[in-house]
Structure 1
């Protein structure tokens, strides 16, 4: 069993049944020691909805065990393993390429090595956060450097670089280390693509020397439960960004894409799946755009939509908003 909740920190009484968490907020908020014994991705990414901290908690049944491996903190039970690795680029010795490329490659190589050793061969979801994601160094945007390192690690580790690849997001912070969190299982997930979009792993070379590696969503069977993981979704049709500079149009296009992905998931699973089933995280590039984004999300998804808003940079400099989400679904 796996439960994802979005809100406050787990209490000390709850941590025995928690795999780990992702903390979003200001530097002061995410430095809390309340989850010191858990794998915790601390992301300096301020909330925009008047609450200092967002905690995305992954919980399960008891009998959760933990450990550490090559800078990875992890916890697991018989069904899933959740882990977090944080690497400071300044400590990376880049034999070729950039420090970020080296950090990404090392992070992913270590993750795959751990999963082989622990017997969790299938990654269900990745979360990636890095500083200055749209900045340029050595003639290449940093997100594209990250993709170089990530794909190299996938290839070296014998992981698929197309087709059945995990759901994922990649967002930018103003500062901080490379943070990669991951959830892996004993069974493969079902990848979901968007019929309105080119699969990310098939992007043309104009988006960098190596393509991003993620499916638009995935459905995972975990114990007796089933979970939908919606990857970071934005205003992209085919492979191109639409509505440059128009936050309202980008938000609406993003929601059209989410409807398409959820519809495809429902078709593949042959079951009902609605947009209102999901909890969402909405990443907004410009704080001034929050009222517009929030109003459109509520108008399209209903006033009771469960959504948290964060200030973040998006993987393309011309994207102003990105939305991800998750849902617990009826068992197959």
Structure 2
């Protein structure tokens, strides 16, 4: 097996004028493969400034890349390593016979990579035009855009293999409605269009300081057996889409009888030719469906890493009935989301001890439950 064909890299810039930081990041970025996604993480706390800075990023990226523009997202999460701005670059190794195209629908840009039987789609930064609308309305608007682009590309909803869901003040309430629950109900409504034969996508639902609802997706679809896609469950955790009503908060959407569960798998593996990738969903210190309470940041960090390590272990895959291709998996990079700045040093010590060779970034973000102090996601390969 070769290494992963989907590569993730982090670039950091010290504090300066925002436009200067963006220009510096782009100027020192030297892609080794085709850039398909750029995610910027910055310390911004109000939507007016967020919109202004997003416009700066889009303008500078357009100048830099011209007609070969990767997908652009701006996430309102403060980098915790002292950087003024962090850029996460996703690159794809292009295989023989594949064609790369750069497309758009309205103000939504996306990239397709197509061969005779397989299509990859990279879409990101999908958000509502009006950030003052309710989070339910914003969520439905975002999924309307995703649906239209998938239809244009003749890709079913279940072709989504990885989804990032950035939700402003994720655990906050507007009256009886929790932002995260409103988003989950909209996602469930959208996902009901498909049967999901290979399981739901891997996903992260994480809080941001502002920006409303922002969604990024990776999708892949084959009309033959060129691609193997497997959902990976974790024997130590109840699947998120099987959670009981007791761990879901807020008023339900009137379209449903009950509050809907978060529709994602703990991980998703995609294999094409000799390349494999495992998308590890946002993972926290949850066993069964219950959070670890009162144990502190160090124990939650260690438990989260243990959950990930077991998730991608051969033992777990064998127990879950996931086909093995003769190799073991290792986390290559990760994002570490922390609920409070004060957790940084203790969390960093745990992560660097347990993952000494894993490239990581630390970000300030609310996790989807008030009692959870840390969440980790990443990409694993052989």
Q: Sort the TM-score into its range (normalised by shorter chain).
A: 0.7 to 0.9
Q: 2:202, 2:100 → 1: CA distance?
A: 24
Q: 2:347, 2:31 → 1: CA distance?
A: 34
Alpha-carbon shift at residue 16 of structure 1 (Å): 8.9
Deviation digits for residues 254-283 of structure 1 (CA, Å, limit 9, x no counterpart): 1111111111565434233344x4211100
Q: Which stretches of structure 1, 4 residues or longer, exceed 6 Å deviation after superposition?
A: none
Report the equivalent of 2:278: 228
Shift in CA distance, 68/293, structure 1 to aligned 2, threshold 3 Å: same
Is residue 86 of structure 1 aligned with residue 118 of structure 2? no
Which runs of 5 or more residues in structure 1 are unaligned? 93-98
Residues 78-87 or 47-56, more deviating: 47-56
2:41 to 11, 18, 24: 24
Deviation digits for residues 185-224 of structure 1 (CA, Å, limit 9, x no counterpart): 1146210011001110000012331100100001012465
Report the equivalent of 1:95: none
2:352 to 298, 311, 317: 298
2:8 to 5, 20, 26: 5
Root-mean-square deviation (Å): 2.6
Is residue 319 of structure 1 aligned with residue 372 of structure 2? yes
TM-score (norm 1): 0.87
TM-score (norm 2): 0.76
Q: Do the aligned partners of 1:245 and 1:320 also contact (CA within 8 Å) in 2?
A: no
Q: Do the aligned partners of 1:4 and 1:56 also contact (CA within 8 Å) in 2?
A: no
Aligned length: 319
Q: 2:166, 2:281 → 1: CA distance?
A: 14
Report the equivalent of 2:76: 44
Q: 2:132, 2:295 → 1: CA distance?
A: 37
Report the equivalent of 2:60: 34
3-state SS of paired residue (1:186): strand
Deviation digits for residues 116-151 of structure 1 (CA, Å, limit 9, x no counterpart): 321333111001102111101131221111111111
Shift in CA distance, 196/266, structure 1 to aligned 2, threshold 3 Å: closer
Q: 1:306, 1:243 → 2: CA distance?
A: 28
Which runs of 5 or more residues in structure 2 are unaligned? 12-24, 45-49, 63-68, 223-227, 249-258
Q: 2:294, 2:144 → 1: CA distance?
A: 36
Q: 1:266, 1:198 → 2: CA distance?
A: 15
Q: Do the aligned partners of 1:5 and 1:58 also contact (CA within 8 Å) in 2?
A: yes
Report the equivalent of 1:96: none
Q: Do the aligned partners of 1:47 and 1:309 also contact (CA within 8 Å) in 2?
A: yes
Q: Do the aligned partners of 2:135 and 2:212 also contact (CA within 8 Å) in 1?
A: no
Alpha-carbon shift at residue 153 of structure 1 (Å): 1.3
3-state SS of paired residue (2:74): strand
Shift in CA distance, 241/88, structure 1 to aligned 2, threshold 3 Å: farther
Residues 22-31 or 229-238, more deviating: 22-31
Q: 2:72, 2:203 → 1: CA distance?
A: 17
